[in-house]
Amino acid sequence: MKRVFIKGGTIVNSKECYVGDILIEDEKISKILKSGETVKLDADTKIIDAGGKLVFPGFIDAHTHFDLHVAGTVTCDNFYSGTRAAISGGTTVIIDFGTQYKGETLNEGMDNWLAKAKDGVFCDYGIHMSISDWNEEAKKECQDMMDRGVTTFKIYLTYDILLKDNEAFEVIQRLKEVGAITGVHCENAGLIFAMQQEYVEAGLKNKVSSHYKTRPAAAEAEAIDRILHLAEVAGSDIIDVHLTCKEGLDEIRAARKRGQKVYAETCPQYLTMTNALYELPGFEGAKYVIAPPLREQSDIDELWKAIADGEIQTVATDHCSFTSEQKKLGTEDFRKIPGGMPGVETRGIVMYSEGVAAGRISAEKMCEVLCENPAKLYGLYDRKGFIEEGFDADIVILDPKAHTKITAATQVSKCDYAPLEGRVLSGHIEKVFLRGSEIVDNGKIKDIPEGKFLERKPYQKFL
C-alpha cells in the first residue's frame, strides 16, 4: 500500500482553515488529524512537510474546450496537452464540453468526445453534452446520457449551434425530467448580428475592437433574462455560464427574488482584464477575443464582490486556446477571429493572488468556488472537491509566500501567448496530488498520464 503523510499544512475548506495532517493510503484520504492528534506511520510512508503552506482540495474546472473544431480551425490544446496544463496549475478535474453537432445523435457526440481522450489525460475528467440538434431522438437520449454519467448539459443562444426559444424551453423541461441541469451561453444572437452588420457597413470590418462593441452587455443581460423566464415556466434550476457583467448579474438577482434557483459561473479573465485590451495597436487585441467579451473595470469590481457575497457559485476558465497564427484567420474580418483564450493553467494562482492575497475574498471562499461548489453542482460531491476521509486524495499544496511569473515561455499549454504575460502573482503551486499520486512537484510534471473518466451523479442542490 502506498502511503503519503502531508504534515503541518493549513487545510482549507469553505468553513474554516486549520493546521492539520493528512494521511493518504493508495488513492484515498484515510485520516485527517487536527493539531495535537497523532497516528503511527510505517517506515515506508512518504512524509511531506507542508508547514506554512495552504492545503486545498484539487481544483475542479467545469468549463473547458479541448480539441474543439470551431471557426475553421481546432483549438491548439487537446486533451493531452490541456489536462497537462490543468494539473500543473492545481486542477485535478476538468469537465469538457462535448458537442452534438447537427445530424448527430447525443450518443455519437459523446463517443466522439471520449475518443479525443484516447492519447491520455493528466487529470480526471468528465463530459458535459452540448445540444445543438433537438429532436425526438435527442429527447430520448437524454436518459442515455444520464446512464453514461453525463448529468449536465449546455445550450447556446448564439452561434450557429443556437437553439430557438421553443427548443431551449423543451430541452430545459426534458433535462429536469431526467434529473439533469442545463447550463446556458447567454447572448442575444439577433442583436449581435444586427450590430455586426452595422459595423461592417461602416467600414470597421478589420477592427479588432468591433468585436466587443458589437457584443454589448445588453445582449448578455437580455439573453439571461429570457432563459431565466423560460426556466421559471419549466420549473427548473439553471446555470448561467461565464457571467461577465453587472447587467447580467442584476437579471440573476431579479430571478432569485422571484424564488428561482440560478447558479452563476464566472471566469478569471472577467476578473482580471478589461475591454481596453481590444484597443491595442495592430492585431494584438485579437488574443483577447472571447465571447462574451471582456467588460469594464466596474464589472470586474462587481463580479469580485458577487463572489465574496455568494452570488456567484463557481469560477471556471472556459479554456479555449488558439495560437496567434490561428487568431489571424480574422485579420480581415473581426467576425472570423477564433474566440477563446487559455486559462486552465493559471486559474488557481490567479484566484489566490487577485482574490485572497488582494483581500477580495478569503481562502475559504476560494475553496468554495474552485472545489466544493463545482463538486456539488457537477455530481462529484461523493469523492471530489473536499478534503474529507474516504474522498479521493486530490490535493494542492500552495505556498503563499512564493510568487509565480506568468509567461508563455514557460507555460505548459500549447498556446504561444499568455493573456497575463509578465504579471508576477502572489503564491505558487508547489505540489499536486491526483488520487494519492504526486503528479506535480515544483513545476515538474509526472510523464505518465493517470487521469480517468468520471461518471458523474445528478447535481446536488445547494441554493
In this structure, the number of other CB atoms found within 10 A of the CB of residue 114 comes to 15
Provide the grid cell at 304: 469580485
Provide the H-helix boundaries in 28-179. 79-88, 106-116, 136-147, 165-178
Q: What is the pLDDT of residues 57-91, one digit of tens each?
A: 999 999 999 999 999 999 999 999 999 999 999 99
In this structure, the number of other CB atoms found within 10 A of the CB of residue 292 comes to 27
pLDDT at 94 over 90: yes
pLDDT at 416 over 90: yes
Query: What CA–CA distance (Å, rounded) separates 284 from 331?
Result: 11
Q: Does the predicted TM-score (pTM) go above 0.85?
A: yes
Q: What is the pLDDT of residues 247-273, one digit of tens each?
A: 999 999 999 999 999 999 999 999 999
Strands 91-100 and 59-64: parallel
Where is 32: in which H helix or E strand?
strand 28-34
Average pLDDT for 411-439: 99
Provide the grid cell at 447: 510523464
CB of 199 closer than 8 Å to CB of 213: yes
Q: What is the pLDDT of residues 107-146, one digit of tens each?
A: 999 999 999 999 999 999 999 999 999 999 999 999 999 9
Query: What CA–CA distance (Å, rounded) separates 295 from 245?
Result: 7
pLDDT at 1 over 90: no
Q: Name the percent of the chain lying above pLDDT 90.
A: 99
Contacts of 237 (CB under 8 A, 6+ apart): 176, 181, 231, 260, 261, 262, 263, 459, 461, 463
Query: What CA–CA distance (Å, rounded) separates 180 from 418?
Result: 35
Q: What is the pLDDT of residues 190-219, one digit of tens each?
A: 999 999 999 999 999 999 999 999 999 999
In this structure, the number of other CB atoms found within 10 A of the CB of residue 294 comes to 24
CB of 241 closer than 8 Å to CB of 63: yes
State residue 35's pLDDT score. 81
Provide the H-helix boundaries in 287-354. 297-308, 324-327, 347-350
* Beta-bridge partners for 239: 183, 263
- The C-alpha angle 388, 392, 398, rounded to 5 degrees, equals 75
* Residue 194, phi then psi, degrees to nearest 5: -65, -40
State residue 86's pLDDT score. 99
Q: Which domains does the chain have, with CATH numbers?
A: 58-377 (3.20.20.140)
pLDDT band at 373 (very low <50, low <70, confident <90, very high): very high
Provide the grid cell at 180: 439533469
Strands 314-315 and 28-34: unpaired
State residue 398's pLDDT score. 99
The chain-wide mean pLDDT, for the chain, equals: 98
Closest CA to 435 of 4, 22, 16, 26: 26
Query: What CA–CA distance (Å, rounded) separates 200 from 461?
Result: 45
Average pLDDT for 344-355: 99
pLDDT band at 342 (very low <50, low <70, confident <90, very high): very high
State residue 73's pLDDT score. 98
- The C-alpha angle 202, 208, 211, rounded to 5 degrees, equals 75
Closest CA to 59 of 463, 383, 301, 385: 385
Cis, peptide link before residue 292, omega less than 30° from 0 = yes
State residue 135's pLDDT score. 98
User: Which residue type, as a one-letter code, is found at position 293?
Assistant: P
pLDDT at 36 over 90: no
